[in-house]
Amino acid sequence: MKKQRPDLDRARTEEKFSVLVDTLKDLGSLVVAFSGGVDSTLLLAAGKAALGPERVLAATAASAIHSADETAYAAEMAGRLAVAHRIFDPREMDLAAFRANDRDRCYHCKRLLFRCIREIAEQAGLTHIAHGANRDDLEDYRPGFRAAAEEGILSPLMTAGLGKAEIRALAARMGLPNCRRPAMSCLATRIPYGEPLTERMLRRVEASEAYLCKRGFSGIRVRSSRGVARIEASVEDLPRFLDPGLRAGLVEQFRSLGFSHISIDLEGYLPGKVNRALD
């Protein structure tokens, strides 16, 4: 897992934040594609500071590929920032191209998502739409960027040159409670490319990850493929799975959810691992 650089240049980071705020001021109004993660939260907070709460709106997708806990957290964060918030269902699973789960799955999802947010922006009388992509996202395979470019979606954090460590530092300075919250991703990323997506698969993954979170695991991933669960956790947490009490309860719960086999990934969780198959 990536760690924050200990030599983070605070002055340079603040300079980039000033660029971000100035960029947002020029927009006049803004809708933020809001997940509740630290990236979109910093963008929303900066948008409010630049434009005022009446010219900023947060829009959050709530559908089969998003866990209920993440949607609730996004609503909580928008409320803490006192920004208007719209929750909508883009119905990605209605798209055959999305359910096919090929390497362009994220492109089809994001194109639909951004078009839904465009409708929300027009209804609210707001002009621009932005998402929380940052400089570090360029290191991974992100077909959703193509959809963002086609739909005219802005990436102000990237434009300002902000990376993840800088975003977390700025979020901490602003007192945002999710400044150290682990990055999350949609449930579809738990299914390998090429395996068609079903709502049953997604609900099984959601329930299994919720089970582990309630037992104190953070930043957990449960990858599901043909009835096999592969758990990715931080390397520091791997020894916990050898605890007899935890292991027995975990196996019972996962089997009840329909998994035939349960495994632990000894490498631990690493961002972007799901895209290795594309290499």
Whether 2 has a pLDDT exceeding 60, the answer reads no
Structural tokens at position 129: 């739409």
Enumerate long-range contacts of 215-223, CB under 8 Å, 24 or more apart. 215/246, 218/182, 219/1, 219/182, 219/183, 219/269, 220/269, 221/190, 221/269, 222/190, 223/190, 223/191, 223/192, 223/265, 223/274
Average of per-residue pLDDT across 258-265: 97
Whether 271 has a pLDDT exceeding 90, the answer reads no
Radius of gyration of the chain (CA): 19
Look at the block and give the residue holding tokens 């049953």.
Answer: 200
Average of per-residue pLDDT across 54-68: 97
- With beta carbons less than 8 A apart as the criterion, state whether 59 and 117 touch: yes
**Tens digit of each residue's pLDDT (9 = 90 or more) over 134-175:** 999 998 889 999 999 999 999 999 999 999 999 999 999 999
Q: Considering only 70-74, 100-104, 138-142, 167-171, which range has the smallest mean pLDDT?
A: 138-142
Query: What's the predicted TM-score (pTM) here?
Result: 0.92
- With beta carbons less than 8 A apart as the criterion, state whether 102 and 193 touch: yes
β-sheet with 261-264: strand ranges across: 221-225, 228-232, 261-264
pLDDT tier at 31, thresholds 50, 70, 90: very high
Report which residue type is found at 78.
A
Domains of the chain plus CATH, in order, are: 10-173 (3.40.50.620), 187-278 (3.30.70)
Whether 77 has a pLDDT exceeding 50, the answer reads yes
pLDDT tier at 200, thresholds 50, 70, 90: very high
Return the biggest CA–CA distance within the chain: 58
Other beta carbons within 10 angstroms of residue 155's beta carbon come to 18
Closest Cα to residue 56, out of 77, 85, 16? 85
**33 Ramachandran zone, left/alpha/beta (phi>0; psi -120 to 50):** beta
pLDDT tier at 274, thresholds 50, 70, 90: confident
Structural tokens at position 252: 């019972």
Whether 273 has a pLDDT exceeding 60, the answer reads yes
Report helix, strand or coil for 84. strand
